[in-house]
Each structure stands twice: as structure tokens, then as C-alpha cells.
Chain A
């Protein structure tokens, strides 16, 4: 286990998909300062640290939802559908069916000029059905998300992100409140699918053991700084 301020993959000849340069993040007041780091294709990064240190803020900054107070982000995944986002409360459309939610992710695979009322095509529809099957939620695909269990809702949120075939999936404590069996099963599915589409994962996780079971790199926010640890 190596512990360094931030692992430098550039020297290893890797191409970063996101570069954070001297970032100062927060909402008006700075939560974490001078963050310089790279995210590479295929990385599994878990951001950990106590409450209130800016984990979610960093994640939202990476997802492009908030601008940093200062510093620079070189983002190679700013195109349509490049980022799949799974917020803490999952961000599902509660009154739509599980399948409609996943179709929302599939829509990003079409051009932004694709008319909303046109269907997404048989191929993409089939792909959605197959993914729902893989995630074990095909039977509830017509149910409104609102009535699904926590585990089922998480699978829908994961399916919505995966169907995009994004370069990067950003997930915020999305395994919270699940039992151990459900967590293991979701992690297994996620890892298989991430490898299949060669996507990168950056997640916030407050349970360190869960973070270690997925991550290859751990960013621990301590005293407004990121301390990186590589998990072998």
C-alpha cells in the first residue's frame, strides 16, 4: 500500500480524462483547497473522509454541476452522455417507470437534435431490455420507480448510467442503507459492467470497507487536501 499526496499516472504514460489543477472548491466558502489530480480511463476512485470535508462538493465539481471557486478543470468528458451521474438520492424520475428512467440514459446515445417524440430505435430498446435483465430488474421494468425497493431503485440508477456507455460514472454514496447481500450483488454487477464498457468510476463512499472493495485509488480528504492511497 503506497500513500502519496496524489498518484502521478502521467509519468506512467497514461492519458487523463479529467485533470484537476489547483482547485479550490466549495459553496462561497472554501471546503478543500489546492486540489491537483488526474483521473485516468479505467480508474476506480473512491473519495472518503469525515462529513463536511467537501467529498460531495468535489464530486459535483467533477460532474460539472458546480464551478470551482478557483483553479482549472481540463475535462475530456464534457460531451453528451459522457458522464453518468448517480446522486445520493439517486435522482430518478419517481413517477416514471423503471424502464423510462433507463431510456433517459439511452437517449444520450442519440444526437441532441433527435426529436423527443421519436422512439430510440429497436436496437437501443433491446439493449435496455438486456441490461435490465442483467441487473435483475426486468420484471419490474414497467413499475413506477416510486414503489420500488431501495435495492431495485439503485439498480435502476446504475442501469441508467451504464446504458449511456459513459466515459465516467460519478456516484455519491449510492449504496447507502442497503444490506450486505444487496451491496455485494450490486458491486459485482457494477464491476462487470464497468469493465465491459471500459468506463471510469469516481465515487464518494463513507464506509471504507466498501470503498476498498471497489476502488483502485482512494482519495482521502484530510485538512482540506487530498491524500491518495493506491489499493492493490
Chain B
């Protein structure tokens, strides 16, 4: 092995051990921790209490299907709504700010000011924003939506200006020489050129907001997290576990859906599908049919 690399690995390893030793003041506290975790999992968390999927009398509900009047549905649908609103608002607000932050569109002083603004929004995690808004507004999903929106603006804005800076310079130059205005350049050159990335980022942000929306309930900002928080406070761990499994399933479903949608916004797949049913085909197969139709 390269001597220099070996030295780096050794130094990093020693520093890591020293840092751990500094943080863990009393190693004896770790004794028996694995057994405690094992007992907690097998006796407190499992089996999960699936009553959260049944109709709950305290929930106002007109549906005849019990599941739609359950705590799980109420919680997860609220979280999904919060994530959806925050992602859409975040996207719409962040896009113009990201255009100001892109140094291929605006001069450095303007770009830097916009970047500092976005970094400011991003520097506080959404849970801290949620805490601030619950203090200001009170408990419920609204402060949660505001918190996620602000964080989404900061996070999406950064991803967006990086995507905008990555577009080819020639279309921008051609439109400048033609005399198009900045807003026309942004709408008709920048957005189409970075559209695949923007859609992909939008889907990622929605996924992220759903996952983080579950945490916001811990500070009273609505969503399924609020049910988890209540159950944890009253040591009803089996119900909390059931909620966690619901979140896991929903996140996996969103992940799969988002993966499928993202596969349609790659360079290889953003062509007009020849027939409606070809959306079900992989992009290269649909493209073959498309080319054959063109040749005919």
C-alpha cells in the first residue's frame, strides 16, 4: 500500500478514536446496552399495535371505510399534504431566487447576495423553523408547512442555481446576441435546458419533505409525527412502532414512484411518446417505435 495513504489512514483512525474517547466520558454506560435495546425491541415495540389503522371515534370523518377515519390515515395524509404544499411553494419561490444566484445569469454581487439569502434559510434545519413557527403561530400543520417551505426554498434554491449554472453557454449567448430580455432568457432557455434537473430535484424535495414532515410533529407542527410524539410521551411504544412502519411503507412507495417518474425526465426519455401506451415502455424501446414512425 502507498505509504502516504497508510499514514493518512493511521492518523485519521487515531484522531477518530481520540474523539470518541473524549465524547464518551464513561465507557461503563455502554455495558448491557445491546440487551436493553433487544428487550426494548422485542417487548415494547413488537408486536406493533395495528389499531391505528381502524376507525377512531375522535376523528371527524364522513367515510364509511374505517381506514380513512383512522389515526394512521389522518396522520400520514396530513403529512403528505404538508409536504406537497411546502414543496410546491418552495419550488415556485426558490426558482426566481435561484436565477438571481446563478452567476451565468447575473453579476457576482447579485449572485452572492442571493446565495447568502439561500444559505441563511438552509442553515436552520426544518425542525428549528418548525419550533420558531409553533412559538409564533401555535400548534398544528400550518407552522409545519411554513417551516418546510422555508427550508425547501433554501435547499431547492441551491440545487437549482447549480443546475442553471451547469447548462450549456451557447443557447444563452445566442439569445443574448438576439436581444432577448433576461426574463425571456430565463423562461425560454434556462428553464427548458435545466428542466430535467429541476423536475428531478422537485421529486427529491417532496420525498425529503415527507420524511422530515414526520419529525416536525415532535415539536407540535402537525402530521403523523404528532401521533408518534403523543404515543412516545405515554410510553405506548407498540402504537408508535405501528406509525413508524406506516411511515416506512409510505416513504418506500414514494421512493418507487419518484424513481419511475424520474426515469421519464432523463435526456434519453424526454421525447414525445409516439402513442399513449408507450409511456409504459422503457425510453429506448419507445424511442425505437418513434424513429420507425418518423421513417415511415
Nearest CB of A to B163, in Å: 13
Chain A residues near B257 (CB-CB < 8 A): none
Asked if A116 contacts B173 (CB within 8 A), the reply is no
Q: How far is the CB of A21 from chain B (nearest CB, A)?
A: 21
Q: Which of A95, A143, A170 contacts B192 (CB 8 A)?
A: A95
With A83-B179, A116-B187: A91-B174 Cβ-Cβ less than 8 Å: yes
A112 to B178, CA, bound (A): 12
Question: Is B267 interfacial (CB-CB < 8 Å)?
Answer: yes
Distance of A86 Cα from B178 Cα, bound (Å): 10
Q: Give which listed residue, B168, B173, B183, B188, contacts A100 with CB less than 8 A.
A: B188
A91 near B173 with CB under 8 A, answer yes
Contacts of A93 in B (CB 8 A): 171, 188-189, 192-193
Interface of B is mostly: helix
> B196 near A: Cβ within 8 Å?
yes
Type the 1/0 row for B212-235, where 1 means its CB is closer than 8 Å to any CB of A.
000000000000000000000000
In the complex, chain A residues whose CB is within 8 Å of the CB of B272: 142-144
Number of chain B residues whose Cβ lies closer than 8 Å to a Cβ of chain A: 28
User: Does B58 make an interface contact (CB < 8 A)?
Assistant: no
A140 at the interface (CB under 8 A from B): yes
Task: Write out, one digit per residue, whether chain B residues 182-197 have a CB within 8 A of any chain A CB (1) or not (0).
Answer: 0110011100110110
Q: How far is the CA of A80 from the CA of B272 in the complex (A)?
A: 32
Pairwise interchain contact B180-A108, C-beta atoms closer than 8 A: yes
Determine if B171 and A83 form an interchain contact, defined as CB atoms under 8 angstroms apart: no
| B-contacting residues, A67-124, CB 8 Å | 79-96, 100, 104-105, 107-108, 112, 116
- On whether the beta carbons of A105 and B178 are closer than 8 Å, the reply is yes
Check B175 against A104 for contact (C-beta < 8 Å). Answer: yes
Contact status of A107 and B192, CB under 8 A, knowing A81-B179, A91-B174: no
List the A side residues contacting B270 at CB < 8 Å: 95, 144, 146
Within 8 A of A (CB), among B95-152: none
Is the Cβ of A164 less than 8 Å from the Cβ of B174?
no
* Nearest B residue (CB) for A87: B170
The answer to whether B176 has its CB under 8 Å from any CB of chain A is: yes
Q: Is the CB of A83 within 8 A of B178?
A: yes
User: In the complex the two chains form, what is the Cα distance from A142 to B183 in whole Å?
Assistant: 24
The interface residues of chain A lying within 8 Å CB-to-CB of B170 are: 87-91
What residue in chain B is nearest A164 (Cβ atoms)? Answer: B178
* Contact among A81, A90, A146 for B178, CB-based, below 8 A: A81
Q: Is the CB of A65 within 8 A of B187?
A: no
Complex CA–CA separation, A146 to B268 (angstroms): 9
Instruction: Say if the beta carbon of B40 comes within 8 Å of chain A.
Output: no
Instruction: Rank and list the top 9 A-B pairs by shortest CB-CB distance, nearest first.
Output: A91-B174, A85-B177, A91-B170, A80-B179, A63-B177, A96-B192, A91-B171, A95-B192, A87-B170
